Amino acid sequence: MNTTASEVSLRRRAPALDVAVVGGGMVGAAAALALARAGFSTALLEARAPTAWNAGDEVDLRVVGLAPSSLALLDDLGVWTSIRDTRAGPYAHMHVWDAESGATINFDAAGEGRDLLGYIVENNLVQWTLWQALEAAGVRRLCPAEVKGFEAREDRIQLELADGETLVASLLVAADGAASPLRQLAGIGTRGHDYAQRAVVAHVRTERPHENTAWQRFLPSGPLALLPLADGRSSLVWSLPEAEAQRVLALDEQAFLDELGLASDFRLGRIVGSTKRAAFPLKLQLAERYQADRFVLLGDAAHAVHPLAGQGVNLGLRDVAELHDTLVAARAAGRDIGAAHVLRRYARRRRSADTLDALGFDALARIYAWQSPALVAARGLGVRLLDRLAPLKRRISEHAAGL
């Protein structure tokens, strides 16, 4: 087949974009902003614009515990100060205890030479702040936009949008959630399992103050966390078997408050008030690989983990930091940012780290599900020993912090 000079010229012309990011949640928006700030021409495609955040609205039921690594990234992106000063709940302590054995473990920021362990922040506050920063950074926002298909070529990847538009970039980044249509289009499978549980969430008022402490109790049915909000309330994340979750959702207000008080061991006194309740399903899901031709996965599209350690979004933001560093290094070396050998570095490092963390959270959930007396006693002994081993406990805390 003969190739005309004009066709050769067209193929060699640089793609219109360096990076196309699909998915405008916290991780996708952070990726687009980080890459644009690094000088890459970037577009962000999202099906629905985020809901505008307003200080007068009720606190979003979906909250995230931002670790120091995430705070550092958001600060580098120029958005953390605004988020912190708007509405963010700092916590300097974490108290974890086992309902069956009574064993406890405590983490304290001051004991580790830090001011704080992290912040509890509303998902939509973080997302909206990132979204607002995109335009000033030069990110091309396409919303609403839906990718119907894509084709990787030697020097570019071509996206076909639902409205008939074509978009061409050097690299496609999929940050489109755990169900990721792009991951499926790329032919990347997943492995994992459904926990047959739901996390019941609400914001509650308690008789005693939360003391800027994240409280977590492990019950035979699953972990219960009370996380400190900026307004003095606590955000509840209560993991329960499916049928139990439905029952708890259906309780009247007073019955729910009474049952939650018992389940939380009245650690913050009586539960005296609650917002509406909601629930979401829990599963472990890991992508079998993080890359394809001129294509990478980020965030929940790559990994979904149990919320007991509150690390899901932090893992996604560490994906962002790794991808940013990988692409910046490739550009500095004069390499094609979408080349397979460049993307392999990102995929290898993040898949290894994410898998280790995800399986660790899964093992922890399984260990705390043990109910035989001998295993409960062994678990209690292990937790008590860990609480006394300061160097090991510090390493665990530093790993969770991303330090």
pLDDT, residue 237, reads 95
Res 10 pLDDT > 50: no
CA angle, residues 194, 198, 201, in degrees to nearest 5:
145
How many angstroms separate the CA atoms of 105 and 95, rounded? 6
Query: Does residue 1 lie within any of the structural domains?
Result: no
CA angle 399, 265, 314 (to 5 degrees): 25
- What integer is the mean pLDDT of 23-39? 97
Alpha carbon 3 to its chain's center: 47
Assign 14 a pLDDT band (cuts: 50, 70, 90): low
Q: Is 136 exposed, middle or buried (0-12, 13-18, 19+ CB in 10 A)?
A: exposed
Percentage of the chain surpassing pLDDT 90?
A: 72
Question: Which residues have CB under 8 Å from 112's CB, separation 6+?
Answer: 394, 397, 398
What is the number of domains present in the chain?
1
Please tell me the distance from the alpha carbon of residue 64 to that of residue 319, in angstroms, as a whole number.
Answer: 16
Per residue in 60-101, pLDDT (tens digit) is 999 999 999 999 999 999 999 999 999 999 999 999 998 888
CATH number at 221 reads 3.50.50.60
Percent of the chain with pLDDT over 70: 92
pLDDT at 3 > cutoff 60 = no
Please tell me whether the peptide bond between 144 and the residue prior to it is cis, using omega within 30 degrees of 0.
yes
Asked if the model's pLDDT at residue 331 lies above 70, the reply is yes
Q: What is the pLDDT of residues 300-311, one digit of tens each?
A: 999 998 877 667
Domain encompassing residue 326: 12-401
In a domain, 251, yes or no: yes
Tokens of 120: 């509890």
- Rounded to whole angstroms, the Cα distance separating 21 from 142 reads 10
In a domain, 3, yes or no: no
Residue count (the chain): 403
What mean pLDDT, rounded, does the chain reach?
90
Instruction: Assess contact for 247 and 233: CB atoms under 8 A.
Output: no
- Residue 281's CB: how many other CB atoms inside 10 A? 13
Residue 309's contacts (CB-CB under 8 Å, 6 or more residues apart) are 361, 364, 400
Paired tokens of 16: 């219109």
Please tell me which residue, 242 or 361, carries the higher pLDDT value: 242
Does a structural domain hold residue 328? yes
Least confident of 12-16, 120-124, 180-184: 12-16
Please name which of 306, 321, 25, 339 lies closest in space to residue 175, comparing C-alpha atoms. Answer: 25
Q: Which amino acid, one-letter code, is at 173?
A: V
3-12, 173-182, 364-373 — which one is most confidently predicted on average? 173-182
Q: Can you give the C-alpha Rg of the chain in angstroms? A: 23
Over residues 316-329, the pLDDT tens digits come to 999 999 999 999 99
Supply 151's token pair: 């084709």
Given a cut of 90, is residue 31 above it in pLDDT? yes
Token digits for 64?
């995230």
Q: What are the tokens at 370?
A: 């043990």
Reduced to 3 states (helix: H, G, I; strand: E, B; else coil), residue 14 is coil
| Residues 237, 198: Cα–Cα separation, whole Å | 10
- Reduced to 3 states (helix: H, G, I; strand: E, B; else coil), residue 96 is strand
Residues 225-237: what's their mean pLDDT? Answer: 96
The one-letter amino acid at 43 = A
Q: With respect to residue 323, please indicate whether it lies within any of the assigned structural domains.
A: yes
Report the alpha-carbon distance of residue 108 to residue 396 in Å, rounded. Answer: 12
Task: Tell whether 258 is covered by a domain.
Answer: yes
- Between CA 298 and CA 346 the distance in angstroms is 10
Dig out the tokens for 36 from the structure. 């644009």
**Residue 6 belongs to some domain of the structure:** no
Residue 356, CA distances (Å) to 223, 350, 352, 360 in order: 21, 10, 6, 6
pLDDT at 36: 98
Residue 180 neighbours by CB under 8 Å, 6+ apart: 174, 297, 300, 301
Question: Residue 7 falls within a domain, yes or no?
Answer: no
Residues 311, 359: Cα–Cα separation, whole Å: 12
